[in-house]
């Protein structure tokens, strides 16, 4: 059976896939869930994929869900990439984290503290920025006000 052969039943692990789709601190797990859901054409899997297209904070996950829906023959609109902050208040959050570190801290100290304190934010921007994540975060860090 090919990956995209129509199946009208649901995957045995549907409940786990639902949990994965909602795990906001792990975009890779959501991406894997989208890929798995795309192998099944049922009301439940299509609704989960549409949910991802409409609301996932990481654009590549939205785009993957859109492509899976297209492959399953669903008529859906390409998700729009927005230029605004992915997580509202990101700059304020990062300022607070930077100010909580000792004077003279390194970028690596900052990066680790962001990851420890706000894994959801770290993970979301890592997924959104892709290979440019470190460069983006370091640029943000260098422009944020210090104590």
Q: Give 53-72 pLDDT, tens digit per residue.
A: 999 999 999 999 999 999 99
**Structure-model confidence comparison of residues 20 and 81, the more confident one:** 20
Res. 90: pLDDT tops 90 = yes
Sorting pLDDT into bands at 50, 70 and 90, what band is 1?
very low
128-144 confidence digits (pLDDT tens): 999 999 999 999 999 99
Which sign, positive or negative, has the C-alpha torsion 51, 55, 56, 62?
positive
Are the C-beta atoms of 127 and 23 separated by less than 8 Å?
no
b or e along 41-60 (b: 16 or more beta carbons within 10 Å of the residue's beta carbon)?
Answer: bbeebbebbeebbeebbbbe
pTM of the shown model: 0.81
Alpha-carbon torsion angle 103, 104, 106, 107, nearest 10: 60
C-alpha to C-alpha distance for 135 and 140, rounded to whole angstroms: 9
Number of H helices, E strands in the chain: 8, 0
9-56 confidence digits (pLDDT tens): 788 899 999 999 999 889 999 999 999 999 999 999 999 999 999 999
pLDDT of residue 107: 97
Picking from 82, 15, 72, 24, the residue whose alpha carbon sits closest to that of residue 49 is 72
Q: How far is CA 88 from the centre of its chain?
A: 15
**Structure-model confidence comparison of residues 82 and 57, the more confident one:** 57
């Amino acid at each position: 059976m090919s990956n995209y052969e129509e199946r009208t039943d649901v995957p045995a692990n549907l409940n786990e896939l639902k949990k994965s789709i909602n795990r906001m601190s792990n975009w890779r797990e959501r991406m894997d869930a989208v890929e798995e859901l795309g192998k099944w054409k049922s009301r439940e899997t299509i609704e989960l994929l549409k949910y991802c297209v409409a609301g996932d904070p990481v654009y590549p996950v939205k785009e993957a869900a859109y492509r899976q829906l297209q492959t399953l023959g669903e008529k859906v609109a390409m998700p729009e990439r927005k230029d605004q902050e992915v997580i509202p208040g990101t700059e304020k959050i990062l300022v607070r984290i930077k100010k909580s570190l000792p004077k003279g801290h390194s970028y690596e100290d900052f990066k680790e503290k962001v990851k420890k304190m706000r894994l959801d934010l770290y993970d979301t921007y890592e997924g959104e920025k892709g290979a440019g994540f470190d460069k983006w975060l370091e640029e943000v860090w260098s422009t944020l006000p210090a104590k």
